[in-house]
Amino acid sequence: MKLTLLVTMLCISLCSHAQTLEWEILETHNPIAEFHPTALAVAPSGTFYVTGKYQHGTEYYKTVEGVTVIADSTMPNIGLFGSMFVYKFTSDGKLANRSFAGGLASEYRKLKPEDFRKDHLMLPSVVEGNTIQVTSTGKLFITGFANGYREKNYETDRAQGIFAMMLDTNFMLKWDKMYPSFYNSTPQKAIENEDGQFIILGTSLIKTVDVSKYLSENTVSPRILKVSAKGKLLADTLLQDLPSREDLYWDDTDKHTYLAGEATSFVEMPTGYLFSGTIKERSIGSSVSRYAALLMETDKDFKPLRKKTYTLFREQYSQYEFIGGNIAVSKKAIALTGVAQIGHPPCFTALIDRETFDTIAVVRMDGDVFSYPGIAKVGTGKYAVALKDHHEKAMQLHFIENNTITKTITLKKYPIIDYVDMQRQGDYLYILGYADKGCYIAKVRL
């Protein structure tokens, strides 16, 4: 009898803590710069890290004895467009350390401020952190986009492309590398694979297409980099084997079209990798684009094994405006989030059979049509979906089980501009948002 009562009380105690908000914080640092967070990483200890880009604020400069100087000497001169930052927080949300990147590769950082003349590299024109993760050895792997130039030879001497760096947890640099490109390339996600290598997924500008007399548009393709644990480039490929028009289920017979693809997320699978993203079709001379979500499975060398596009629901015109976002994979299913730009409610989570790629169910949610929802697996057949609230500056966290939303938590202590990232670590979810005045982070107990 006592044992039964003890077990019952323990169950009640555990259930009372399930899916509850632990805390919310807003890290603004100071008013001299505006911070745009882009990614979040959580260590097993609960220590977490945030990277992104910061730009001049209203008080970035101050005047001292008639001379204009930077208000905070620890923050480098970030030029016109911005530079990268990295924050370190304790598990209870206290800021523990911060770092700002004013240069990129090692040889650039050796330059003294007086060296930045017209015949020297003017960095950063753009340097921004896009992804961050805690590696299997406990270090920080960060990737981003950089675009610098020498004013003397602007067109022919550019430093543009994806960069990667390895830091220890005190932000001491271990190595950094630049992977230049003739096309703009921005990292979307990076992971450490089972071999200890790093896979970086980017979106690359391929060419510009004239779609009408007055309008041109960029075509893009997923760019995939594989680098060693020391940053040596092992592979650099464009994932261009996209579905053909015959795969897209559209009735328009106009053959004067082009296709472009963008991958936004991926996970490692036993046989290779699974990518999610969007296929875009546009007819020459038309002002209307059509979208379909995409799943593509590749081998370890990124050669496509199978692919499928999805429109999922057939309300008026909504099949033309379906954009795929993030994914989470369980033993039997793939959970794909995204938005339908026409139709209501616009946000969705599609549950897709892992073996057949057939749709099992679609759960729809109200949210911001311009923001991809984030997703994390939180149990067998259970998922958490975070998205920007459509009606107010707040975040919604939906818990899905058995194809149904079982609970929703609204995070609105601070005004939220956009959802950014979400990571699970143990029994907690860490959620990152872009707030009116800086970086918003919430911790939720599962």
Distance of CA 311 to the CA centre of its chain: 23
Averaged pLDDT, 347-352:
91
Give pLDDT, residue 185. Answer: 74
Give pLDDT, residue 10. Answer: 42
CB-based contacts of 266, cutoff 8 Å, min separation 6: 189, 191, 199, 201, 273, 274, 275, 276, 327
**Whole-number CA gyration radius for the chain:** 23
Lowest mean pLDDT among 23-32, 119-128, 177-186, 401-410: 119-128
Q: Which amino acid, 217?
A: E
Alpha-carbon distance of 47 to 349, in angstroms, equals: 29
Alpha-carbon distance of 293 to 262, in angstroms, equals: 10
Question: Exposed, middle or buried by CB within 10 Å (0-12, 13-18, 19+), for 234?
Answer: exposed
Token duo for residue 227? 């680098």
Q: Are 148 and 122 in contact (CB under 8 A)?
A: yes
Alpha-carbon distance of 416 to 89, in angstroms, equals: 20
> Across 58-67, 125-134, 206-215, which has the greatest mean pLDDT?
125-134
Give pLDDT, residue 91. Answer: 95
| pLDDT tens sequence across 254-278 | 444 445 567 889 999 999 999 988 8
> Across 80-84, 200-204, 297-301, 310-314, which has the greatest mean pLDDT?
297-301
Q: Are 86 and 55 in contact (CB under 8 A)?
A: no
Higher pLDDT, 322 or 174: 174
Nearest Cα neighbor of 83 from 57, 56, 58, 109 is 56
Residue pointed to by tokens 């009606």? 391
Alpha-carbon distance of 279 to 21, in angstroms, equals: 37
Give pLDDT, residue 206. Answer: 67
Q: Where are the domains of the chain?
A: 22-180+416-446
Give the Å distances, CA to CA, from 166 to 139, 174, 175, 229, 414.
Answer: 7, 5, 5, 9, 32
Nearest Cα neighbor of 395 from 383, 384, 382, 380 is 384
| pLDDT tens sequence across 38-68 | 999 999 999 999 998 877 655 555 566 665 5
Q: Are 245 and 206 in contact (CB under 8 A)?
A: no
